[in-house]
Structure 1
Amino acid sequence: MVGLLKITGLVELAVCDSLHEKPDVKTLEEQLQGGQIEEVILQAENKLSLGRKMVQWEPRESLAEEPPANQWKWLT
């Protein structure tokens, strides 16, 4: 955000100065209703990181052994 003064007020979260298309940050934050744009970027990076890990973990593979018959009983 060249020429703009912004402080996130969040520990260890720097102001993003390299937005892709340089949108109006204030309007974007209001539209997203997800906090400051830096928080939204951090959340997106965390989701991307988790997605990459899940590809490695292969969570959709079959279980190594069948779960007990009443394991999920409390959900019903």
Structure 2
Amino acid sequence: MVGLLEKTTGLVGFGVCDMVKAEPDNKKSEDQLQCGQLEEVILQAENELSLARKMIQGKPWEPLVQEPPANQWKWPI
């Protein structure tokens, strides 16, 4: 079990996170996920949860209060 804890992620702005309990070996967990470092996956999940909460408040699935300008959704601008 010696050396299983990461001392640093090597990524600027990412702290080491010890939240994973099912697989104590971080490298094995990262290999299984194939989505980058665990800290990145956790950050992405937190961002998605935050977006879901904002969408509940904003209710983007409901009809618009007023019609949008004629070319608002035209791409490219």
TM-score of the two chains, using structure 2 as the length reference:
0.72
Paired position in structure 2 for 1:4 = 4
Deviation for aligned residue 1:50: 0.6
Q: Following the alignment from structure 2 to structure 1, what is the Cα–Cα distance between the partners of residues 32 and 46?
A: 19
SS at match of 1:30: helix
Q: Following the alignment from structure 2 to structure 1, what is the Cα–Cα distance between the partners of residues 72 and 44?
A: 32
Change in Cα spacing, 1:38 to 1:65, as seen in structure 2 (3 Å) is same
Q: Following the alignment from structure 2 to structure 1, what is the Cα–Cα distance between the partners of residues 54 and 68?
A: 24
Q: Following the alignment from structure 1 to structure 2, what is the Cα–Cα distance between the partners of residues 28 and 44?
A: 16
TM-score of the two chains, using structure 1 as the length reference:
0.73
Q: Following the alignment from structure 1 to structure 2, what is the Cα–Cα distance between the partners of residues 19 and 12?
A: 20
Question: Sequence identity of aligned pairs in percent?
Answer: 66
> May I ask how many residue pairs the two structures share in their alignment?
74
Unaligned runs of 5+ in 2: none
Please, what is the CA RMSD of the aligned residues? 2.4
> What pairs with 1:1-76 in structure 2 (closer than 5 Å)?
4-6=4-6, 7-67=8-68
Choose between structure 1 and 2: higher helix proportion.
1
